[in-house]
Amino acid sequence: MNLNIDVDHEGNNKYVSLSGEIDAYTAPKLKETILPLTQDAEATVVVDLQQVTYMDSTGLGVFISALKSTKEYGGNLKLIQLQERVYRLFKITGLTEVIDIETDSTVRGGM
């Protein structure tokens, strides 16, 4: 079980692409990478979850911290290309209402 994290910077736009699984073991690493990105004033952080095959509630916790942090620093957080099972977690927890999640590109029937 592993998580690969790639970060691309383009000025204030940060593009994070993830592949693998986000769980209690990989979430700390994700948090360490994402939180500093959200702490640049007015940064836009886009997280691509197309290759994320599994995420548990620890992963949600990371995105909630990231959301709170972008709000604090006046930035934006956007999640794109979620697989269906991952999207479901955001849906159930009501986070789709507070996090910008690009729904049209959701990969249906991912797992």
Partner 1 sequence: MSTLKLDLESYKDLLKQYIETQNEQALYRAEQFSKHSIQQNITPDEIINVHIEALLELYPDIPSNIQSSLNFLLETMISYGLAYQEYQALREKQLELQSEISVAANMQQTLLSTTKPEMSELDVGAISTPAKQMNGDYYHFVKDQEGSLGIAVADVIGKGVPAALCMSMIKYSMDSFPDSRMEPSVILEGMNRVVERNVDPSMFVTMFYGLYDPDTHEFNYSSAGHEPGFYYSAKNDSFHDIEAEGLVLGVDRSVKYEQYTQHLDVGDMVVLLTDGVTECRTGDRFIERDEISDVIHQYKHLSAQEITEQVYRHFERLQDFQLRDDFTMIILRREV
Report CA 49 to chain centroid distance, whole Å. 7
Nearer to partner 1, 23 or 40 (CB): 23
Nearer to partner 1, 8 or 32 (CB): 32
Q: How far is the CB of 62 from partner 1 (least distance, A)?
A: 6
Distance (Å, whole) CA 20 – CA 38 = 22
Distance (Å, whole) CA 15 – CA 69 = 17
Distance (Å, whole) CA 44 – CA 38 = 8
Q: How far is the CB of 111 from partner 1 (least distance, A)?
A: 7
Q: How far is the CB of 64 from partner 1 (least distance, A)?
A: 6
The DSSP code for 96 is G
* Interface positions with partner 1 (CB under 8 A): 24, 31, 56-58, 60-62, 64-65, 67-69, 85, 92-95, 97-98, 111
Nearer to partner 1, 9 or 97 (CB): 97
Nearer to partner 1, 7 or 98 (CB): 98
Each as own residue / partner, the long-range contacts of residues 7-11 (CB below 8 Å, 24 or more positions apart, any chain) are 7/33, 7/37
Q: How far is the CB of 38 from partner 1 (least distance, A)?
A: 11
